[in-house]
Amino acid sequence: MQKEEQQLEKRLSELSNLAYSRDIVTYSDFLNLNELNILHSMPKDRLYTKFVTFGGYGLAERQMAAFLPDALSLRGEMSWCSEEEWIDYPFDILRISPLHAKYAEQLTHRDYLGTILGLGIERAKIGDILVDGTDAVVFVHRTLQSFLMEELTRVRHTQVLVKEISREDFQYEPKYEEIRGTVASVRLDSLLSLAFSASRTKLSGLIEGAKVFVNGKLITTNSYQLKENDVISVRGYGKFRYNETGAKTKKNRIYVSVYKYI
């Protein structure tokens, strides 16, 4: 295990211990897919409490972990509402809009992220950034909300205005394209090849190189069998959902459908 991973495990263990010993909820910063996988793979004897994760919406890749003392764990099991509704994750939602839409550039995720990090903010304090036309929505640690609203005034050459969105008002409908095709089996490498129009050989290298996650879990086996509604994330490529399995062809191949998020 690398030193960075050991330090992360230690920090997460400390947060869990603090939640247990003080009977309070503790929170991590935003964790990326690899860090979330480390958390979910930690030995039980290193975690003293239950934990849940959330990043602001259902498909969030970067998520905070909340470590729950026993009393709150029990409340969650007995509650009729979802954990996201009664756990106060310390992040806010900000919308970044051009001050003058007429002169706005076509900005990318990289443009927004680069500008935010250029203000001296740590990556761990920023969650997902959702770009929608000329606007973007960013999830940010609550301690930095005011700072960003005051200091983020320009992205590239475009003057911008930053406003807070309440969680109740935030709505996100992911955009996707449906891809249909046939595969020999519902192995991970086969579905990747269909979704990203690349050879299985090339994509196998990504799987073996620890760049592929299924439902947030790192998968390094090409032959891993997918199930309907699994969400697959590939670093550098994107994300898709295995939608459904259809009938078989005369050559015994399987009709499948995937939703590739765009």
Number of domains the chain contains: 3
Residue 215 Cα to chain centre, angstroms: 10
- Percent residues over pLDDT 90 in the chain: 82
pLDDT score at 224 = 97
Task: Confirm whether 170 is domain-assigned.
Answer: no
Of 201, 191, 198, nearest to 233 by C-alpha is 191
The CATH code of the domain that includes 254 is 3.10.290.10
* Listed residues 86, 120, 154: the one ending a domain: 86
pLDDT score at 48 = 93
Distant-in-sequence, close-in-space partners of 49: CB < 8 Å, separation ≥ 6: 16, 19, 20, 67, 68, 69, 70, 73
**Confidence tier at 85 by pLDDT (50, 70, 90):** low
Q: Quick check: 49 pLDDT over 60?
A: yes
Residues 196, 221, single domain; the answer is: yes
Q: How many CA atoms lie within 13 A of 240 on its CB side?
A: 25
pLDDT score at 73 = 63
Look up residue 25 and give its amino acid. V
Residue the block writes with tokens 């690398």: 2
Distant-in-sequence, close-in-space partners of 77: CB < 8 Å, separation ≥ 6: none
Distant-in-sequence, close-in-space partners of 183: CB < 8 Å, separation ≥ 6: 190, 191, 193, 194, 253, 254, 256
Q: Quick check: 113 pLDDT over 80?
A: yes
User: Considering only 2-16, 75-89, 142-156, which range has the smallest mean pLDDT?
Assistant: 75-89
Distance CA 253, CA 181 (A): 10
The CATH code of the domain that includes 138 is 3.30.70.330
Residues 189, 253, single domain; the answer is: yes
Task: Confirm whether 64 is domain-assigned.
Answer: yes
Q: Quick check: 115 pLDDT over 80?
A: yes
Task: Confirm whether 171 is domain-assigned.
Answer: no
* Mean pLDDT taken over the chain: 93
pLDDT score at 194 = 96
pLDDT score at 78 = 46
Distance CA 55, CA 77 (A): 20
- Domain extent, residue 31, equals 3-86
* Listed residues 165, 193, 211: the one ending a domain: 165
- Percent residues over pLDDT 70 in the chain: 94
Task: Confirm whether 74 is domain-assigned.
Answer: yes
Distant-in-sequence, close-in-space partners of 167: CB < 8 Å, separation ≥ 6: 56, 93
Task: Confirm whether 125 is domain-assigned.
Answer: yes
Tokens of 19: 């939640």
Task: Confirm whether 134 is domain-assigned.
Answer: yes
**Confidence tier at 84 by pLDDT (50, 70, 90):** low
Q: Is 193 helix (H, G, I), strand (E, B) or coil?
A: helix
- Mean pLDDT of the 33-46 span: 93
- Asked if 135 and 99 count as a contact pair (C-beta separation under 8 A), the reply is no
Residues 136, 79, single domain; the answer is: no
For 199-243, write each residue's pLDDT tens digit: 888 888 999 999 999 999 999 999 999 999 999 999 989 999 999
Residues 64, 124, single domain; the answer is: no
Distance CA 83, CA 73 (A): 10
Distance CA 78, CA 198 (A): 46
* Listed residues 68, 86, 104: the one ending a domain: 86
In terms of DSSP H, where are the helices of 33-131? 33-41, 70-78, 83-86, 109-118
